[in-house]
Structure 1
């Protein structure tokens, strides 16, 4: 983590030296010296980050270096803040400048003195570094001894190989799945990857499969090799050879130690050719480990079959190993609730059952284990030593974070942290930053990406936006099983993530230790002297003084807070927190924006989401570095012209929904904002929602925002359609487009979006919403090859739109909401090849739907709502083998009676007999009738329109 701080400072110094030349002035020489010294420390810090846990002196040195980096950043930004505004003009401006110059002489001397002190500290740190470099020279890059092999602490990973079958629970189902895959192995090679986070029991599961009698009988050769993060190719190949020859009681080949990698792979290949074998590669950390051995295993054989099983924490390793045919990936899930409880009780109450007075505490502790077997076993074993004393159990439950650092649970702590230490430096800061999220709180992808960018954690790369790079960071953390995907959008892209509670406790502890983030979520009585990032909830202790906040970089509210907590936030802002980059006051009880916010020269991220703020003052123009302005859910309806001074603004969200987001969204249900006429000068904008377009000049300005990826507009008039299409033709980066007509107006979008017939129209557009009357479907929609979601609302189309839409190659979701006034819809054979969800709502005249065989082969969900003229089921769905959920809402009485009779009379031959869940709902009476084949599916099913935010985004 010290390396992260140094690399970040090194990057920032480079930016300052380049962009702030006029301001940095006298400090340039000092800044260059500090940058040079810090640069020389980076390589060694990779060793230090890993070794500091076992060397207290080194840990203190790392802490000092980290603080130097933080303090240097503070001083330079304070310097820029002090002198960034001294550019007044005219006579009055000259007087003010003279006065300011005299006034700041003392400040200049103070800052110069502080920089000199930093230089002295850097020199001392550089001298101390040499001693540690000599001590750990063998572990520096290029040496044969790696960091991981130098660790002396015991992590217990090998214990899983010694567990008896009776000590394991919840293994039957995954074990059966792996054995089924093994038994289906024909001649040739099969690869099975078992992937999941640390402590899930991957090794335990595979060992039980490996030891199963059927495996012993059906395979002639059995090899188990633990790879680990410290593997060396030669050693790995030698281990495989030794285990192969040991099993047949042969001596290793002569000269094995001197044999090169190619020779060893050839020996293994020849040994296994035409034999039945199973090889387990346990704990694989890199794709290099797999690439090093993959061709040692015969792939085609006339009389032999082989199976390689890999356990790994990394999804990309699993995918790489299973990139060929005849391969499987098993993503090991957490233990289910019942098995978790059984395992916990077995460890915490050996030979007995849980006393009634401990049941509630047991449930609380078990909930935080989240089905992680390692945590359940270790925590249960520790609690077994407390002799069922309720006060000790309660204390443990309340201080679980600190308990993890005690000797009894340190094994789990260290096992979880192996993944952290394996992270590249640029991900360590990002990962620790996740400690700002509360227990069980979802991590919104859009939010965390914007926060990381504002904090400066995301390193620019040529050819990619910062958002794309940050999304790659999230995917990499997910790939390493450090976070898990909690929700996906309907097109399969991750939307929200979550982090295991125990891993969250680890990063909270590490964040506090390294002064990265301080989360006041438990009413802490002691706070650090310096706080750089502060996340608050309503339990804040108001007695804390604001003097410790002068180094504050981020202030975030974790949840809805009371007025007392909001007042403390104001005190923090007034207490000299002038270096803030991130200010998230979402859901705070605020009617106006505090004046102090507009003095924050370095502010990059400002969220007032779901506050009562109505007016944005003109002094918003002071926030020259602002990149994100989130006013979603506020009452703001107009932005001042001074917003145009924010040239770095990338995200501008100013909208709210009235009465929630219902099934039939009307134009007037979306509150948008009136923008300044020259909004086109905000050339960095990537997201702009929702903007009034009842002025021609605004529509023309939108066409200048060529970086836009998401655009939401309202109050569009018919006569402005041509002008809008002309502007849209310039927005080739759009991913999401949401257009609402003005009340009583129609949408006229029948205009070319490109001057060239061969030019690609919206090559990246995934989501399109059109809300308003249409004479005909715009001709350019069928050419949107990237489109995955389309919603047409209140279109009033008289011609069947499906004929034009059914060839869209990537369409996954289609919604027709009061969009069609015809009597029938027809879906031809071969149409909608990738469609997963179809919504037909408010089509009052619709009487029939024909669906030819060969159409919609991947359809999973069908909703038909308020189609009162429909008298029978729309089609024979037997050929739609993927259809899992069908629901009919507010349908006519005749339809419900006829379908019910058909279901009763036809039984297993009914059109929807193969569908897991079929539901009928009347919203007026609340009556629900359900036929569920799979009750688990039905229990997760909702008749709400919660999926529709997919069309809106974040």
Structure 2
């Protein structure tokens, strides 16, 4: 291979392979990703370019990079290959020394020099086509310091970095970033069987051969195959976990009972048997600033494999006092920045995004959760238990000391601040216990079968109380410092006196009594930020002339109010909630004079960003002249029965990004949008309507990204021009007729022929019962 540049200097055949780590790690799967990276490194661009491999600890970034580094195509492409591992404490001089050492250019004299080392490195790279792999970079400043060390000779040289921090990758090159994925179940099993048994087991024949090799003529324990499959699956696709547990089991007694124990205690088995795993995981935690450490540790308070609603997580962080106030930003905005930072550090996984593209649900890998629980126990940050209260410090769960002072308590008694109660299916009975301590600050109960007694409610320090229970004691009203309360039902005495919780910020409440109204004093709770109600009526505030203090109360911090039954949008009510961002309202009242609800006043909510307006009544006539605030970004309508011609009211909203038109939101056979509307719309959902003809093209929805059609059985086709929207990424059809499916497939084929490789089409078939369950009114759940 000879490539000549403008100077007449010729590149040579590959001359060396330098500095790769000698220990080889097995890589299973990711073949398609490997080919993509090889093609990127070999592409024709002459300039020096960079590529970052990003992912959480243990996901296989280094192994993947080594696979690239050692690949024959790379050896034939690059004249110089250099590998350097960058530690957290690396500085410019150390990195230069390591690079020269990897290139076999480091002499004893160079260790003493200070000024010429960078020049030596530069000269040894200049004129050659080189590949530099910098493994495990933690800081953008490191890259800023060393970027000038690599010559730009237009030789198609490349630099590849691995990092846990997305911010580092974006800083280096935001256009060349590869995010490592988790292994799927088949890939996990292949890697596990190779490590645990010494061979990949893909079928019964390979299993039988392995049994003869490992167990000789003895009876082959086929149960290990099934249990091993479950173990591999429970590693959640993390190569580090699979390799470590596979290696552990390869040297252990291969008995069914032991392997079943491993299945149930996977994370703790791994971390208790491998110090290297602890070091790898701890490194991510140790690198966090203090304000993120507490937020990250808090993730361990949730059960394993729990999908955590971000909206609830943010509220809990705020109630716990973890969020530091920032001028000109709300606490919620700061908390979401914290979350994004943890996601970018590969510590929190995004499991579901909202229709606006924001993180809606998140998770944490089991190994990282084990780290959180271990560190939390060490720091007495929180304790995890089950309905038997096992796992709590002994003197805490057995002592009753409500009459003692804090100075009289044992040290570890005082340290009991947060308790998380998880379900335990092995305990077949409901064991109601108490938490008799005056120091507890948070109780989060995830076990719907457990009914806690009330002795722990003596703690005036309690800030967070999430009781998945139908028996809310009146003693709760003594908790004057409570910030977060999530509960189901409760006696009227409790509900009628909620206003006594004067510091409450978040209220999540469900009630089975449809006639119940919250007390008028709810309008005096100035600290309220988020109110989520299910089947609860919100009363009108006191009218003018009752008491001046009542009349002037403004809930300035209230941002969320949902879902309120038969909400009256009078001027007096709306002026008390001027900063409301999210509003959910449901109308179930069948009456003649609908004007009493004053929905046209909704436009007065100048800061409203999300509105859900649902009607379970036939043909509400007053909606013909409905107006919405121009600040709306997300709108959900159901049961309005508006004619399609009135959708211009919605289409003219200048900031609308998400529109969900559920069952009979609009009524009519033909929808013909107008131009210069829906200019910012990115997400459109249509559910159950009588629409037959939709006359639209790319002009009507210029920024649409996602189109979801659910049970639109009468719609003949998707307008062909929808496929020409340049931003369109996905069309999803649920329970659709044949002609609608055909039109979607035609759009896909046309776009493929024109070179559009982005568009995806998903056809989902569901039975009628499945649809009814899918779109049934959501049941009240504390966390979701």
Alignment TM class, shorter chain as reference:
0.7 to 0.9
Match 2:168 to one of 312, 317, 324: 317
Match 2:377 to one of 512, 522, 532: 512
Tell me how far apart the structure 1 counterparts of residues 559 and 157 of structure 2 sit (CA, whole Å): 51
Match 1:801 to one of 647, 654, 658: 647
2:289 is matched with 424
Tell whether 2:624 aligns with 1:774. Answer: yes
2:245 is matched with 379
Match 1:673 to one of 525, 533, 538: 538
Tell me how far apart the structure 1 counterparts of residues 466 and 599 of structure 2 sit (CA, whole Å): 37
Tell me how far apart the structure 1 counterparts of residues 598 and 123 of structure 2 sit (CA, whole Å): 71
Query: What's the offset of the Cα at 1:187?
Result: 0.7
Tell me how far apart the structure 2 counterparts of residues 418 and 258 of structure 1 sit (CA, whole Å): 30
Match 1:178 to one of 29, 37, 58: 37
Query: What's the offset of the Cα at 1:693?
Result: 6.2
1:289 is matched with 142
Contact 1:225/1:281 (8 A) holds in 2:
yes
1:30 is matched with none
- Helix, strand or coil at the partner of 2:113: helix
Structure 1 window deviating more from structure 2 (186-195 vs 536-545): it is 536-545
Tell whether 2:520 aligns with 1:641. Answer: yes
Tell me how far apart the structure 2 counterparts of residues 545 and 845 of structure 1 sit (CA, whole Å): 56
- Helix, strand or coil at the partner of 2:41: helix
2:453 is matched with 570
Contact 2:741/2:763 (8 A) holds in 1:
no
Query: What's the offset of the Cα at 1:194?
Result: 0.5
Q: Which deviations, in whole Å up to 9, do the C-alpha atoms of 1:703-737 show, x marking residues without a partner?
A: 13233222234559754677863x753x4433223
Summarize the alignment of residues 618-633 of structure 1 with structure 2, pairs less than 5 Å apart.
618-632=496-510
Tell me how far apart the structure 2 counterparts of residues 740 and 329 of structure 1 sit (CA, whole Å): 42
Tell me how far apart the structure 1 counterparts of residues 109 and 641 of structure 2 sit (CA, whole Å): 77
- Helix, strand or coil at the partner of 1:711: strand
Distance verdict in 2 for CA 1:346–1:948, change over 3 Å: same
Tell me how far apart the structure 1 counterparts of residues 384 and 91 of structure 2 sit (CA, whole Å): 40
Match 2:560 to one of 653, 669, 687: 687
Tell me how far apart the structure 2 counterparts of residues 344 and 921 of structure 1 sit (CA, whole Å): 35
Contact 1:802/1:825 (8 A) holds in 2:
no
Question: Which segments of 5 or more consecutive residues in structure 1 lack a partner in the other structure?
Answer: 1-158, 657-670, 749-772, 929-941
Query: What's the offset of the Cα at 1:416?
Result: 0.5
2:113 is matched with 257
Q: Which deviations, in whole Å up to 9, do the C-alpha atoms of 1:465-512 show, x marking residues without a partner?
A: 211111111111111111100110011000111010122122212212
- Helix, strand or coil at the partner of 2:724: coil
Tell whether 2:72 aligns with 1:213. Answer: yes
Summarize the alignment of residues 29-428 of structure 1 with structure 2, pairs less than 5 Å apart.
161-164=21-24, 167-244=26-103, 246=104, 257-259=113-115, 272-273=125-126, 275-298=128-151, 301=153, 303-323=154-174, 327-350=175-198, 352=210, 355-406=221-272, 408-428=273-293
RMSD (Å), alpha carbons: 4.1
Distance verdict in 2 for CA 1:745–1:256, change over 3 Å: farther
Distance verdict in 2 for CA 1:672–1:315, change over 3 Å: farther
Superposition TM-score, scaled by structure 1 size: 0.66
2:724 is matched with 879
Distance verdict in 2 for CA 1:853–1:459, change over 3 Å: closer
Distance verdict in 2 for CA 1:909–1:917, change over 3 Å: closer
1:700 is matched with 572
Contact 2:118/2:149 (8 A) holds in 1:
yes
- Helix, strand or coil at the partner of 1:801: helix
Query: What's the offset of the Cα at 1:393?
Result: 2.6
1:16 is matched with none
Tell me how far apart the structure 1 counterparts of residues 283 and 704 of structure 2 sit (CA, whole Å): 41
Tell whether 2:435 aligns with 1:556. Answer: no
Tell me how far apart the structure 2 counterparts of residues 546 and 852 of structure 1 sit (CA, whole Å): 62
Match 2:485 to one of 597, 606, 621: 606
Q: Which deviations, in whole Å up to 9, do the C-alpha atoms of 1:436-491 show, x marking residues without a partner?
A: 21111111111111111111121222222211111111111111111100110011
Tell me how far apart the structure 2 counterparts of residues 899 and 396 of structure 1 sit (CA, whole Å): 50
Q: Which deviations, in whole Å up to 9, do the C-alpha atoms of 1:877-914 show, x marking residues without a partner?
A: 553574543426476xxxx4x6689999x999789999
Contact 1:821/1:846 (8 A) holds in 2:
no
Contact 1:279/1:307 (8 A) holds in 2:
yes
Q: Which deviations, in whole Å up to 9, do the C-alpha atoms of 1:410-442 show, x marking residues without a partner?
A: 211221111111111112222222112111111
Distance verdict in 2 for CA 1:396–1:923, change over 3 Å: closer
Tell whether 2:467 aligns with 1:585. Answer: yes
- Helix, strand or coil at the partner of 2:695: strand
Count of aligned pairs between the two proteins: 704
- Helix, strand or coil at the partner of 1:161: coil
Tell me how far apart the structure 2 counterparts of residues 655 and 186 of structure 1 sit (CA, whole Å): 58
Query: What's the offset of the Cα at 1:342?
Result: 1.4
- Helix, strand or coil at the partner of 1:689: strand
Superposition TM-score, scaled by structure 2 size: 0.79
Contact 2:165/2:345 (8 A) holds in 1:
yes
Distance verdict in 2 for CA 1:544–1:257, change over 3 Å: farther
Match 2:305 to one of 440, 446, 456: 440
Tell me how far apart the structure 1 counterparts of residues 521 and 741 of structure 2 sit (CA, whole Å): 62
Distance verdict in 2 for CA 1:227–1:357, change over 3 Å: same
- Helix, strand or coil at the partner of 1:887: strand
Distance verdict in 2 for CA 1:621–1:862, change over 3 Å: closer
Contact 1:573/1:596 (8 A) holds in 2:
no
- Helix, strand or coil at the partner of 2:720: coil
Contact 1:265/1:293 (8 A) holds in 2:
no
2:8 is matched with none
- Helix, strand or coil at the partner of 1:305: coil
Tell me how far apart the structure 2 counterparts of residues 557 and 286 of structure 1 sit (CA, whole Å): 39
Query: What's the offset of the Cα at 1:851?
Result: 2.3
Tell whether 2:651 aligns with 1:651. Answer: no
Distance verdict in 2 for CA 1:828–1:945, change over 3 Å: same
Distance verdict in 2 for CA 1:856–1:793, change over 3 Å: farther
Contact 1:853/1:879 (8 A) holds in 2:
no
Query: What's the offset of the Cα at 1:745?
Result: 7.8
Distance verdict in 2 for CA 1:909–1:741, change over 3 Å: closer
Distance verdict in 2 for CA 1:849–1:284, change over 3 Å: same
Contact 1:693/1:699 (8 A) holds in 2:
no
1:931 is matched with none
- Helix, strand or coil at the partner of 1:681: coil
Tell me how far apart the structure 1 counterparts of residues 678 and 608 of structure 2 sit (CA, whole Å): 23
Tell me how far apart the structure 2 counterparts of residues 533 and 924 of structure 1 sit (CA, whole Å): 45
Tell me how far apart the structure 2 counterparts of residues 169 and 845 of structure 1 sit (CA, whole Å): 49
1:74 is matched with none
Contact 1:614/1:634 (8 A) holds in 2:
no
Query: What's the offset of the Cα at 1:310?
Result: 0.8
1:46 is matched with none
Tell me which protein shows more helix as a share of its residues.
1
Tell me how far apart the structure 2 counterparts of residues 287 and 886 of structure 1 sit (CA, whole Å): 40
Contact 1:675/1:691 (8 A) holds in 2:
no
- Helix, strand or coil at the partner of 1:706: coil
1:535 is matched with 420
Distance verdict in 2 for CA 1:388–1:907, change over 3 Å: same
